[in-house]
Every structure is written in C-alpha cells, then in structure tokens.
Amino acid sequence: MTKHSDVVIVGGGVMGCATAYYLALRGITSSVFEQNTFGWGASGATAGVVGPLWHVPHDNEPYFELALKSLRMFPTLASDLTDAGLDPQYRQSGVLKVAFTEELAGTLRDDLAWQSDLDMAVEWLDAQEVSDREPDISPRVLGGVYSPQEGYVVGQSLVDSLVHAGTQLGVRFFDKTEVFGIETEASRVVGVRTAAGGFEAGHVVLASGPWTGIATRWIPEDVPIRPIKGQRILLRLPGLLPRSPVHGFSGYCVPQPDGRILVAATRHEYEFDQVVTAGAIADMIKAAVDLYPKLKDAQFDSARVGVRPGTPDDVPIIGPVPGWDGLSIVAGHDAVGIMTAPATADSLAESIASGDGGPLERFSLGRFSP
C-alpha cells in the first residue's frame, strides 16, 4: 500500500533532519529516509565549528548572510531542542584564530576592518592575551583574533536532537531505508520508491549530501555535486582542554563537552571512501601539537571520516529545481553544513510552505545551466 506524506526528504544528515524540523514547526508533515543511520556521514564526523567568519567567504553576500543568520539562530535552536528532551551540545564559547607569522598576523588585523562592522565584538589579542586565555598554547603564537559570539556544536548530538524533537512534532524518520527513485507525472514529482514501499508526497527534498548527484539518474538534470573526503581525530589529555575552538595554520582544535579534543581537518577532493589514513592522522597530530605542544603526550582516542558535498562554485544548492514542480535540493555546503544548517533549513522550509523559491534564487541549481 502506498503511503502519503506532505513532504518526503531523502537524506538523514543535518540538512534533511533540520528541514523536517522547520517544516514541522510550520505544520507540514514530512518523512525522512536515510540509507544508513541518522548523522552517520559528514554530519556526524564534522568538527562542529560554528564560525562563519573563518569558513564562509564574506565577499559572497547571500552566502555569508545565510551563515550569519544561522549563527544568530543557534542559541534559540539549541534551547528549544534541549527543552524537547535532548541536548544538541551547542556551546557559544567563542572562536580563536591565531597567527604564527607576522604575515598572517597582519592579515588577521586587516580582516578586523570588515569584521568590526558586523556588531560581533571581534577583537585582536596580543601574544600575552592569547596565552592568558589559552595557557597551554604554543609560545610561537604572535597573537590572534577572538570572536566571542561564535562557538561549536557536536554534530551527532545536533542530528540526534533534531530527530528527537522532530518525532515529537510528527515527523516520521526511517533509518536504514534506501530510496530507489522518484515518481513523476510529466514534470511534477509526486513521490518516491523506497525499501519500505512507495510514498506519495506533495514535495520531495533531495538532501543526500555527496550522494545528491544521484538525482541525475532520476531526472534529466545535471546536479554537479562532488565528494570531498574529510578526516578528523579525537585526542584526550587530562588537564588540557581549549576554552574554545582554536584555529592554527594547518588545522584546528575543538574542545568537546566530554573532555576530549577534536582535531581537524583533512581535505581530499573526489574521494568517496570511508578509509582513515595514517598520513591524515599524522598531519592532524602535527597540527594539534603545533598549537598545543603538550598534546604530543595525548592519548589517541579515535578517528572518523565524513564525505562532504561540494559544488563547482563552492556555494550550496538550495531550493526548487527549475522546470520541476514539487522537487527541491539542499546540498553542497562542503565543510560548513553544520554551521549553516539552521538558516538553510528554515529558508527551504519557508520556500516549500509558501511556494515561493525567489528568496533562494542565488542558491538555485539553475545557476549552472548554460
């Protein structure tokens, strides 16, 4: 028997689960299908930094504004999800970007010119002020920029809390349930075929991260999503825990609520495998020790791979697919999916609810058409 949902979402990472959550807040029911477990991909392997100043190009105004909107949304979202019963482990700890060379220190100071216009209380810290804040940091650090409104979130905890809260709001979540294709009538998408049977839907959202390009098999459209493999590790050293995420030259250290230190990240274009490599681990350990020399004595805890989705212009695809009724895509955020998820999902949910994709035009798949 064919089942029905207002919206079907293909993909159970942070984008799919957050979109379902924000649709539910608007009274729209959805069903989310994930081929593995929720958050098992890049969302669960993320470093979790919520710091658009360092990760999203400020000269791309629509994208940067989306990231800033997400930054402002995180405290309320985290509070609401916690009230629903599961803590997403978001911390507004600030983010520190440090310089080891005079050249980089000059660049960071120059960036303060535009950052100071954002009303985010961003400030330059000299070497002593950095040391006062992070007593175990390398003495080679010459200074840094501290952004107090930024922070971090544990990616898997965020996904789990979205699933928990979404379920309470009526979202149906199906893990380990593959979607085999979409059903169409002329140029309208009317449902999907899944391992759990057929589902009719008024709207289908493709939110499958690097797998979103599979849509090319289902509709005659080129969806230029490429895989970008990233690796991260977790270390533990009793008595050493950064107060906030700290960015160095070749990597960054992110404190975890359980006392571990997450070190990230590597980048391997067009790689889809889930293999943790010795070379990547060595590079990340070096980056960690460069920042905090005492970490040479840290206990190695674990390593994980996440394959991120990228696009040709490094800007995500969000919104309706041109030429098709009832079909949207949300993918291609590369390494900033977690930090941009709230505003991305909320904007897409509003587009679906209102039927107006105009506000998302700058993120449309149509920009890649000849």
Give the pLDDT band (50/70/90) at residue 215.
confident
Give the pLDDT band (50/70/90) at residue 331.
very high
In this model, does residue 123 exceed pLDDT 70?
yes
Closest Cα partner for 96 from 241, 244, 242, 240?
A: 244
Q: What pLDDT is recorded for position 2?
A: 67
Q: What pLDDT is recorded for position 332?
A: 98
Q: Helices 14-25 and 155-168 sit at what angle, rounded to 10 degrees?
A: 30
Question: What contacts 301, CB < 8 A, 6 or more positions away?
Answer: 233, 234, 235, 236, 260
What is the sign, positive or negative, of the torsion defined by CA atoms of 323, 369, 358, 155?
positive
Residue 78 tokens, joined: 């985290």
- Alpha-helical regions (H) of the chain: 14-25, 42-45, 52-55, 61-83, 102-115, 127-133, 155-168, 215-218, 278-291, 337-354
Give the pLDDT band (50/70/90) at residue 86.
very high
Q: What pLDDT is recorded for position 216?
A: 83
Q: What pLDDT is recorded for position 370?
A: 77
Give the pLDDT band (50/70/90) at residue 1.
very low
CA distance 328 to 318: 7
Mean pLDDT, to the nearest integer, of 47-67? 95
Where are the domains positioned within the chain?
3-83+155-224+312-368, 91-149+227-310
CA distance 51 to 35: 30
What is the percent of the chain with per-residue pLDDT over 90, rounded to a whole number? 95
Closest Cα partner for 306 from 281, 345, 334, 278?
A: 334
Closest Cα partner for 337 from 155, 107, 147, 128?
A: 155
Q: What pLDDT is recorded for position 214?
A: 85
In tens, the pLDDT along 254-279 reads 999 999 999 998 999 999 999 999 99
Superfamily in which the 3-83+155-224+312-368 domain is placed by CATH: FAD/NAD(P)-binding domain (3.50.50.60)
Identical fold between 3-83+155-224+312-368 and 91-149+227-310 = no
Q: What pLDDT is recorded for position 265?
A: 83
User: Domain 91-149+227-310 belongs to what architecture?
Assistant: 2-Layer Sandwich (3.30)
Tell me the average pLDDT of the chain: 97
Coil/strand/helix, residue 296 = helix
What is the sign, positive or negative, of the torsion defined by CA atoms of 258, 308, 150, 129?
positive
